[in-house]
Chain A
């Protein structure tokens, strides 16, 4: 059974336990730091790969457009720009909704993918699984179609019973399209 308590052994045991535990954790942290960073990079790269045509490499910059900060990735293949991937976050139904939006140099949406969301399971969360909703973003041309849901007079088919999520998703895409547009205008001047 447990040993008798006196000040000396209490301080010693607590101190030693904390010391040993911190040592173990420090070691574990050093060992897992690399795989953890790699996993987060892999996640971003996977999302970029999913929303853009094939590319050789990407360059990253953080840009401010109209007071909002975007993570902006430029994808290059054989020296030519094949598209831009933009991380765009808006407020959805349940909390922040974060997308990766791929846009080709002519301003067309190549594809989109959800990075994180807090939408209701089975309703708004379908923005990540509903095939019909997701497919309409492939090749969506904002110069021909209007970027708002059909209920608001646009060309985006909303998810059934999840208009707010669909609106937020559309807004996120719109922000990304505008960000790329204004960046390109800046670089032309």
Chain B
């Protein structure tokens, strides 16, 4: 039940893009076409889950025991950067077809704040999910990270669909491009606000 609440909360109620404002740059950048949006979402999903696993373990078994929590930011970003590189190398060797699909997005992900944002959130924030507020354990953290990235994908795919239609419409000159996109995201976020308070 708790895992179910985590998934609903991370995908709909606290959607990472529309409610938490993370990962906006790539969100606006690659949501022009449905196909690239899907590719980026899958790459993000993969990296967020993996990065959360590694940073959670590093935080738990290295930083906390040695009271080095103040190095969190610097350690996490280095781990994420290294991880993305490794994923790139491994994918290239193991599954060239997957590499073709995700390859061009991988270098962009290092500076996607959604990855660092989720990694920091799961080790610093207390959550409730229907229980008394507590720090997440590894299992919950992983489910949370995975569900969050699904939420990212959902927001991305919906928005890419909207933008494909927007491109065909006659938009005033000053609104062209990003401004009209932002206003549309705003309306999308308004719709997602309907979920607020559903899961605590």
Q: Name which of B70, B132, B200 has the most chain A CB atoms within 10 A of its CB.
A: B200
Q: Are B70 and A93 in contact (CB under 8 A)?
A: no
Q: Are A94 and B132 in contact (CB under 8 A)?
A: no
| Contacting residues of chain A (43-90) with chain B, CB-CB under 8 angstroms | 68, 89
Chain B residues in 8 Å Cβ range of A105:
none
Q: Are A91 and B132 in contact (CB under 8 A)?
A: yes
Given contacts A25-B74, A91-B132, A95-B127, 6 further A-B contacts (CB under 8 A): A21-B74, A91-B133, A91-B200, A95-B128, A96-B128, A120-B197
Q: Are B70 and A68 in contact (CB under 8 A)?
A: no
State the interface size on chain B (CB cutoff 8 A).
12
B126 within 8 A of A: yes
B191 within 8 A of A: no
B71 within 8 A of A: yes
Chain B residues in 8 Å Cβ range of A89:
132-133
| Contacting residues of chain B (87-129) with chain A, CB-CB under 8 angstroms | 126-128
Contact indicator per residue, chain B 122-151, by CB within 8 Å of chain A (1) or not (0) = 000011101011000000000000000000
- Identify the closest chain A residue to B193 (Cβ): A120
Q: How many Å lie between the Cα of A93 and that of B193 in the bound state?
A: 13
- Identify the closest chain A residue to B196 (Cβ): A120
Q: Are A96 and B74 in contact (CB under 8 A)?
A: no
Q: A68-B132, A89-B133 are in contact. Are A94 and B200 (CB under 8 A)?
A: yes
Contact indicator per residue, chain A 12-25, by CB within 8 Å of chain B (1) or not (0) = 00000000011001
Chain B residues in 8 Å Cβ range of A94:
196-197, 200
List chain A positions with a Cβ less than 8 A from chain B: 21-22, 25, 29, 68, 89, 91-96, 120, 164
15 of the cross-chain contacts (CB-CB < 8 Å) are A25-B71, A25-B74, A68-B132, A89-B133, A91-B128, A91-B133, A92-B200, A93-B197, A93-B200, A95-B127, A95-B128, A95-B133, A96-B126, A120-B197, A164-B197
CB distance from A179 to the nearest CB of B (A): 14
- Identify the closest chain A residue to B130 (Cβ): A91
Q: How many Å lie between the Cα of A14 and that of B70 in the bound state?
A: 20
Q: How many Å lie between the Cα of A164 and that of B128 in the bound state?
A: 15
Q: How many Å lie between the Cα of A150 and that of B200 in the bound state?
A: 23
Q: How many Å lie between the Cα of A25 and that of B127 in the bound state?
A: 30
- Identify the closest chain A residue to B67 (Cβ): A29
Q: A68-B132, A89-B133 are in contact. Are A95 and B70 (CB under 8 A)?
A: no
Q: How many Å lie between the Cα of A93 and that of B197 in the bound state?
A: 6
Q: How many Å lie between the Cα of A92 and that of B126 in the bound state?
A: 13
Q: How many Å lie between the Cα of A179 and that of B127 in the bound state?
A: 23
- Identify the closest chain A residue to B70 (Cβ): A29
- Identify the closest chain B residue to A89 (Cβ): B133
- Identify the closest chain B residue to A120 (Cβ): B196
- Identify the closest chain A residue to B126 (Cβ): A96
Q: How many Å lie between the Cα of A60 and that of B156 in the bound state?
A: 49
Q: How many Å lie between the Cα of A120 and that of B130 in the bound state?
A: 18
CB distance from B149 to the nearest CB of A (A): 21
CB distance from B94 to the nearest CB of A (A): 26
Q: How many Å lie between the Cα of A94 and that of B130 in the bound state?
A: 11
CB distance from B71 to the nearest CB of A (A): 7
Q: How many Å lie between the Cα of A29 and that of B69 in the bound state?
A: 10
Chain B residues in 8 Å Cβ range of A91:
128, 130, 132-133, 200
Chain B residues in 8 Å Cβ range of A92:
200
Chain B residues in 8 Å Cβ range of A68:
132
- Identify the closest chain B residue to A93 (Cβ): B197
CB distance from B69 to the nearest CB of A (A): 10
Q: How many Å lie between the Cα of A92 and that of B132 in the bound state?
A: 11
| 5 A-B pairs with least C-beta separation | A96-B133, A91-B128, A29-B70, A91-B200, A93-B197
